[in-house]
Amino acid sequence: MQETIQLDLPPAEWTHVIRPKRGWFEFSFKELWGYRDLVSMFIRRDFVAVYKQTVLGPLWYLINPLASSLVFTVVFGKIARIPTDGVPPFLFYLSGITCWNYLATCVSGTASSFLTNSSLFGKVYFPRLISPVSTVISNLTAFSIQFLFLLLFVGVYAAQGMTVQPTWTMLLIPALILQIGLLGLGIGIMVSAATVKYRDFHFLVGFGIQLWMYASPIIYPASEVPARFRGLYSLNPIAPIIEAFRHCMIGTALPAAGSLMVSWLVTLSILFFGVLLFNRAEKNFMDVV
């Protein structure tokens, strides 16, 4: 019996044409979607790597917000006596930090996309945006754990009859988280694009995030912001998100109606420019030796 030799004929049409990259916005969702398996593998890698390396594993995710909230409760609640809109200070801080941590990890994680992946980027092609996108999704693991932790405390406080009113609007939280993810991605990839030219930006990230936190309603309610700063304050895209998140979780005041719209607008513009700069940087990154 003769073995059949299978000859796979190549496609008749050109499947790829490689040309010099000139455009500013060469980006295709279709291509990104084609690499979804890679995104899921990166997420799995991040997940497994974290759990296999540390002794305490996921516990670390709880120690951080718990410790910060306790410190804030003592320093800003007991000593500085900053009001917390009438909700228990600990819950107020914990809810703010839970939200904030997700943003902070997204920004700092994606900001180093080029630095941490340089060897991979030099060896194999995939849309570079895959790696920051998967970082943002990976960070949801830590967020979910912290979120459940927060939920537990909300339950405990509510059971004790404290002034905590979680509402049905909790169902809107996924939309808020999506926005935080997109915002973090946008800012992070902007910074990562800047690090390709100037490494200085890498050192600014940690510092910048910290300053930004003080400009956001984490340790104080937005209602305490003086009226003359309100205009400027409404440009901080994360502020209304955190207020809305707190409203959903513990029933504090809703942010001003238009502010969430402005926040979405700012988020999407940041993301747009982020992708633009990232594409640009991607090209430079490979051409500078």
Q: Which residues bind another protein (CB under 8 A)?
A: 5-21, 37-38, 40-42, 44-45, 48-49, 52-53, 114-115, 118, 120-126, 195-200, 202, 283, 285-289
Nearer Cβ to another protein, position 90 or 121? 121
Closest CB to another protein among 40 and 165? 40
Q: Taking the complex as a whole, how short is the minimal distance between the CB of residue 62 and another protein, in angstroms?
A: 22
CB of 2 to another protein, least distance (A): 13
Closest CB to another protein among 23 and 161? 23
Q: How far is the CB of 108 from another protein (least distance, A)?
A: 16
Structure tokens at 36: 């979804």
C-alpha closest to that of 166 among 156, 181, 178, 175:
156
Sole residue written with tokens 């707190």 = 246
User: CA–CA separation, 214 vs 38, rounded Å?
Assistant: 37
Nearer of residues 35 and 264 to another protein, judged by Cβ: 35
Neighbour-count burial for 198-221, b at 16+ CB within 10 Å, e otherwise: eeebbeebeebbeebbeebbbbbb
Q: Long-range contacts of range 56-60, CB-CB < 8 Å, 24 or more positions apart? A: 58/145
Distance CA 46, CA 141 (A): 10
Residue 8 C-beta: closest distance to another protein, Å: 6
CB of 29 to another protein, least distance (A): 18
Q: How many Cβ atoms are within 10 Å of 125's Cβ, its own excluded?
A: 7
- In the bound complex, what is the minimum distance in angstroms from residue 48's beta carbon to another protein? 6
107's enclosing H/E stretch is helix 89-111
Judged by CB, which is closer to another protein: 20, or 226? 20
**Considering beta carbons, is residue 39 or 271 the nearer one to another protein?**
39
Alpha carbon distance 47, 197 (integer Å): 30
- Return the CA Rg of the chain: 22
Report which residue type is found at 73.
Answer: T
Interhelix angle 257-287/173-197, nearest 10 degrees = 30
Which residue lies nearer to another protein by CB, 166 or 208?
A: 208
Nearer to another protein, 278 or 285 (CB): 285
Distance between CA atoms of residues 170 and 95, nearest Å:
13
- Compute the least distance from the CB of residue 140 to another protein, in Å: 19
Alpha-carbon span 61 to 191, nearest angstrom: 25
Shortest Cβ 26–another protein spacing (Å): 10
